Structure 1
């Protein structure tokens, strides 16, 4: 006994919506990462050499700063995912310090 094609329409619509939403999310994630594949995990080199913890003077809480290597790439190229192969830093980079000044004691 044949099945009418109308019975398959909900399944086609659901499958199509899954495909459209999955493709849309992949496109948005690629666009946010400037065309590069997303970083799912950062390797041990970035973890051990770049996480700095400091004690906040006002709240006495331990804060974790950003990954310094990735922040340095952002300061060099203007983009978080950008990297450069130039051996010399651009002009003005020596004044571009990621460390924030401490507040004065009053």
Structure 2
């Protein structure tokens, strides 16, 4: 005895929705990274360089080939200052 195909329609719909959601989230992550692949296992150095790139270009993953920094960059210090314990 065969299974009526009407019983499989909800599973097809659920599979389609999971596939669409996964593709949409993947595309969103791709767009947030400036069209580049996602980064994994970031250490402090990588985060510091990505923060510098964000301050230089305005994008977290952006890079520039300009020799001189843009105007005002000399005042946008990326170092975090610790609060003193007294």
Flag whether TM exceeds 0.5 (same fold).
yes
Shift of the 23–101 alpha-carbon distance from structure 1 to 2, 3 Å rule, reads: closer
Backbone CA RMSD of aligned residues:
2.7
Match of 1:74 in 2: 54
How many equivalent residue pairs? 86
Q: Which runs of 5+ in 1 are unaligned?
A: 52-66
**1:11 matches 2:11:** yes
Q: Which residue does the alignment assign to 2:21?
A: 21
Please give the TM-score of this superposition, normalised by the length of structure 1.
Answer: 0.63
Which structure: greater strand fraction?
1
Runs of 5+ unmatched residues, structure 2: none
Instruction: Tell me how far 1:73 sits from its aligned partner.
Output: 0.6
RCO (CA 8 Å, sep 6+): is it higher in 1 or 2?
A: 2
Distance 2:50 2:57 in 1: 11
Shift, 1:72, TM fit: 1.0
**1:95 corresponds to which residue?**
75
In 2 relative to 1, CA 98–8 (structure 1 residues): closer, same or farther, beyond 3 Å? same
Shift of 1:16: 0.7
TM-score (norm 2): 0.74
Select the structure that is richer in helix. Answer: 2
